[in-house]
Amino acid sequence: MRFILIVSVLALSASILLMIIATVILRFARTRIEARSLANRAELRTLLVKFLSEDLNPGELRLLKTSGSAELEELSETMLAKVKGRAKDILVSFLESRGTVEQAIRRTTQRGYLGRCRAAAFLGHIGSAEAREPLEAMLRDRRRDVRITAARSLGYLGDPKSIPALLTGLDYHRRLLPFGTVLVALMRIGSSGQDLVGVGLRSGGERQRAVAAEFLGLTGAIRFTTELVDLLVNDRSLDVRIRSARALGRIGSPSTITPLIGCLDKNNATGLRTVSCAALAAIGGGQVVSEICQLIEEDDYLISSAAAKAVSQMGPLGTECLDQIAKANSAGSPYAKEVLARVAARVVDKTQNQSEI
Amino acid sequence: MILATVMSTIAEIFKGLNWVGLSYFLALNTIYLILITVAAINLGEYFRRKPFSGFEDALKSPVTLPVSVLIPAHNEEAGIVESARAVLSLEYPQLELIIVDDGSTDLTFEKLRDAFDLVEIPMLVPELVPTIGLVDSVHIARGLDDVTVIRKQSIGQKTDALNVAINVAKYPLLCIVDADAVLDADALIKVTMPFVDDPHRVVATGGAIRPSNGCTAYRGRITEVGMPKHWLARIQVVEYLRAFLLGRTGWSKLGALLIISGAFGVFRKDVVIDVGGYNQLSIGEDADLVARIHKYMRKHGTPYRIVFVSEPVCWTEVPEDIPTLRRQRRRWSRGLLETIWSNPSLLLNPRYGTLGLLAVPYFLLFEVLGPVVELTGFITLIVALVFHFINFYFAGLFFAVAIFYGILLSILSLLIEEVSYHRYDKWRFLYQAIISTLIENFGYRQMHAYWRLEGVMQALRKADRSWGPMPRKGFIPTETSGA
């Protein structure tokens, strides 16, 4: 037993010593490597910046072309996200001349998922049209990080043709894309994608309809008002209905007042009612003020406070309504008083558009 | 003859006890080793994935969930304004700040009033979760969106202040932050990323806590990371690294996270309301809330995840004097025992998976009862030595194995920190940390065991629950930051 203890003590002491030495060596190596890498990158960055501003002499150009591909690619990738216009064109053609784009496309199917991620990110920044199809294929990758990076890159590419693939990615078996990633990618593509997103509004699964409603609201797609109203009234998913209400508020068409007022009905879910309140406040109008003012007197504090906040954003008519309720000493008076005090302190409240989880 | 037999029997018992003590130490440290290994693998994965994690998307996304940041404050005049500014300058699409001045007798409220030009408003605070202390007044910052300060009567419990803040919060995510805490600029977006990635399952996340003593802050942001000047705080730096950063990362990876620190955690508001908010009678409110969330989600058969994210850092002042540290550790120990005591169904219950079968028994056996075994081990070792039941050589070997294993784990934690975050970047910080791993075993560890034992005794006696004073020094003056 004594022998075991002695061996244990010796082994532990040796391990401790080794760990300490490893930590110190690591620190030392890290410091050296970081310093060297910084110096190399600084030199390379200077060359690259001069190259992009077409200010490079032949010697420097030779140096740039013969420099290590990994470091140059990494730096180019960082710069691609920052430069625009002619400088970007120069950088892209330089990378194409080195065969970097083909290499990246080949890497989209390589074994290591980090390599695939890096390739996807690179292709997104380079903005090459030929990258779209490989990136769309990556939306079905078995690794989540790869799918997310590919979706983000498709957003950077900005080609509306990739919208159906992005929307399908929301519901692709178990290999799903996060809602927010797809929405941000769609927002990067912009309003030119409204028509293709609109298709998802009509025929997609629940998550597709939800993201489509958000996107159309955020891009002010007034021509999709009818479809959004249809979702608001008839969709079986509460989440889709709430997002449609919010989208209609953002679009701001007076023609949607009636269906939105219909959503204020007590039989509807609290989330839908509060978002409809905010949407109606964004659209505005005398009829809307009186409808929402009634809600301030409700028992449910979520509805009362949401209604009071909504009314406070509706100009003099709203303020007048709040004044009356505040003086009435009714159930809604405390909410009206609070909102009036907030307005007096010039505090702008933006909470109403946020949906419940 | 009889005396010799008795003495021999006693000697055997003492030897046996010592073996039990040693085995206990080995088991505890081996569990730590497993947790640290799991954490190291997880950290490696995290760092490889980091460039593709999509923080930028989350910052730009119009659907990133807004957060209510809740800060309970009791006599926090030293750092409350810095903390509030730190929260307001966080990188996050939309947040509100709610500070609850819980009956402060110092200038906490006055400092906030002057800094944010507070205006009192009439507000009907809903009772979504129960509260005891009456709300005196509600204030908002003039011209600033989303800053609310509530003054309430204190009942001596932080939990009551937090429940008031929950009732006032308007956003779907609640971030609980200690009044003396300073968050890194990207801490909130990083700690909420699991909600973005997996919105239907993630119900709570926790971030890493590191001691802020010795750091320099400017306008609510840590500008220079430093090691504390006091050895007591330096030991805690290593302790936080080993237990809170790597330990929790390990438990999280195993799907058995029981504690999200009260200093920095994010919760889904609807779930917190469903479980009834914080339990005002609990002194370990953080563990208690997480335990009840586990129970609630399992009871309703809802798939869920509680995640620890190791990168977002919350810097908090750790005690530099023994009485304050003693109070803190007594409270932690007592809180943990009370949490397990009040949630007995979690223990050894296969229904709770790794949590019930591994994490809770671990916390009971090693964290709660640990000090009993540790102190018994030390005492029997000394008694055995005094009465020559074992020889010095053998005792020395026993002691060395137990201590060296602990040191090995601490050094391993430092190595992982060096490979991963590398926050303490000066050479002297590294030396100080290494020395701290050695000296914590001689005096600190034994004192710590005794304080934890006191906490257990307090829980059993049902002693007074008040927190006691926690003096704060604040940060190194901003002028020295050079920022």
Q: Assess A39–B contact: CB distance below 8 Å, yes or no.
A: no
Position B196 confidence tier, pLDDT thresholds 50, 70, 90: confident
In this structure, what DSSP letter does residue B368 have? I
> How distant is the Cα of B48 from the closest Cα of chain A, in angstroms?
7
Span B351-374, average pLDDT:
89
Domain-located, residue B271:
yes
What token pair was written down for B218?
Answer: 């400017």
Report CA-CA distances (Å) from B172 to A207, A354, B123, B159: 20, 8, 20, 19
> How distant is the Cα of B202 from the closest Cα of chain A, in angstroms?
11
Q: What does the mean pLDDT of chain A come to? A: 86
> How distant is the Cα of A313 from the closest Cα of chain B, in angstroms?
15
Residues 6+ apart with CB under 8 A from A278: A246, A249, A306, A309, A310, A352, A353
- Gap between the Cα atoms of A278 and A243, Å rounded: 12
- B residues 121-150 near A, CB within 8 Å? 121-124, 126, 140-146
Per-residue pLDDT reduced to its tens digit, B311-326: 878 998 899 999 999 9
CA distance between the termini of chain B? 79
DSSP A46-115: HHHHHHHTT---HHHHHHHHHS-HHHHHHHHHHHHTT--HHHHHHHHHHHHHTTHHHHHHHHTT-SSHHH
Domain boundaries, position B54: 32-364+469-481
Domain-located, residue B174:
yes
Domain-located, residue B104:
yes
Domain-located, residue B422:
no
Q: Is the pLDDT of residue A351 over 70?
A: no
Residues 6+ apart with CB under 8 A from B435: B234
Q: What does the mean pLDDT of chain B come to? A: 88
Phi, psi values for residue B316, rounded to 5°: -135, 150
- Gap between the Cα atoms of B75 and B78, Å rounded: 8
Q: Which amino acid belongs to residue B393?
A: Y
Per-residue pLDDT reduced to its tens digit, A22-80: 999 999 998 898 888 888 888 888 888 888 877 777 677 677 666 666 677 677 777 88
C-alpha closest to that of A23 among B402, B405, B311, B432: B432
Mean pLDDT check: name the lowest of A158-172, A184-198, B2-16: B2-16
- A residues 297-326 near B, CB within 8 Å? 301
Span B408-415, average pLDDT:
91
Which residue of chain B has the CA closest to A116? B52
pLDDT at A44: 81
Cβ contact B140–A6 (<8 Å):
no
What token pair was written down for A75?
Answer: 């730096």
pLDDT at B479: 45
pLDDT at B73: 94
Would you call B193 helix, strand, or coil by DSSP?
helix
Alpha helix (H) residue ranges in B62-148: 80-88, 108-116
Q: Between A202 and B446, where is the model more confident?
A: B446
- Gap between the Cα atoms of B99 and B139, Å rounded: 10
> How distant is the Cα of B414 from the closest Cα of chain A, in angstroms?
7
Mean pLDDT check: name the lowest of A147-151, A177-181, B63-67: A177-181
Alpha helix (H) residue ranges in B50-103: 55-60, 80-88
- B residues 194-253 near A, CB within 8 Å? 196-199
C-alpha closest to that of A187 among A218, A225, A228: A218
Q: Is the pLDDT of residue A149 over 60?
A: yes
Q: Between A70 and B279, where is the model more confident?
A: B279
Phi, psi values for residue B205, rounded to 5°: -140, 155
C-alpha closest to that of A244 among A271, A218, A217: A217
Per-residue pLDDT reduced to its tens digit, A98-143: 788 888 888 888 888 888 998 998 898 888 888 899 999 999 998 8
* Burial (CB count <10 Å: 0-12, 13-18, 19+), residue B74: buried
Position A276 confidence tier, pLDDT thresholds 50, 70, 90: very high
Would you call B275 helix, strand, or coil by DSSP?
coil
Q: Are B158 and B102 in contact (CB under 8 A)?
A: yes
Q: Assess A110–B contact: CB distance below 8 Å, yes or no.
A: no
Domain harbouring B244, CATH code: 3.90.550.10
- Gap between the Cα atoms of B116 and B114, Å rounded: 6
Q: Between B156 and B479, where is the model more confident?
A: B156
Span A199-224, average pLDDT:
91
Given the DSSP bridges, would you call strands B95-102 and B147-152 parallel, antiparallel or unpaired?
parallel
pLDDT at B383: 82
Domain-located, residue B398:
no
- Gap between the Cα atoms of B113 and B138, Å rounded: 12
Per-residue pLDDT reduced to its tens digit, B34-45: 988 998 898 888
- Gap between the Cα atoms of A155 and A153, Å rounded: 5
Q: For A180, which of B57, B140, B143 is closest by C-beta distance?
A: B57
pLDDT at A261: 93
- Gap between the Cα atoms of A277 and B171, Å rounded: 17
Predicted ipTM?
A: 0.82
Domains of chain A with bracketed CATH: 65-188 (1.25.10.10)
Position B403 confidence tier, pLDDT thresholds 50, 70, 90: confident
Structural domain count, chain B: 1
Per-residue pLDDT reduced to its tens digit, B227-268: 999 999 999 999 999 887 788 899 998 989 999 988 899 999
Question: Which segment, A56-60, B81-85, B150-154, B424-428, is predicted with the most confidence on average?
Answer: B150-154
Q: Find tokens 């001349």 and name the residue.
A: A97
pLDDT at A272: 95
Q: Which residues of chain B does A299 touch, with a Cβ-Cβ cutoff of 8 Å?
A: none
> How distant is the Cα of A59 from the closest Cα of chain B, in angstroms?
34
Cβ contact A338–B121 (<8 Å):
yes
Q: Are B254 and B354 in contact (CB under 8 A)?
A: yes
CA distance between the termini of chain A? 60
Cβ contact B119–A20 (<8 Å):
no
C-alpha closest to that of B150 among B170, B175, B121: B121
Question: Which segment, A303-307, B97-101, B220-224, is predicted with the most confidence on average?
Answer: B97-101
Q: For B124, which of A145, A214, A334 is closest by C-beta distance?
A: A334
Q: Is the pLDDT of residue A346 over 80?
A: no
pLDDT at B389: 77
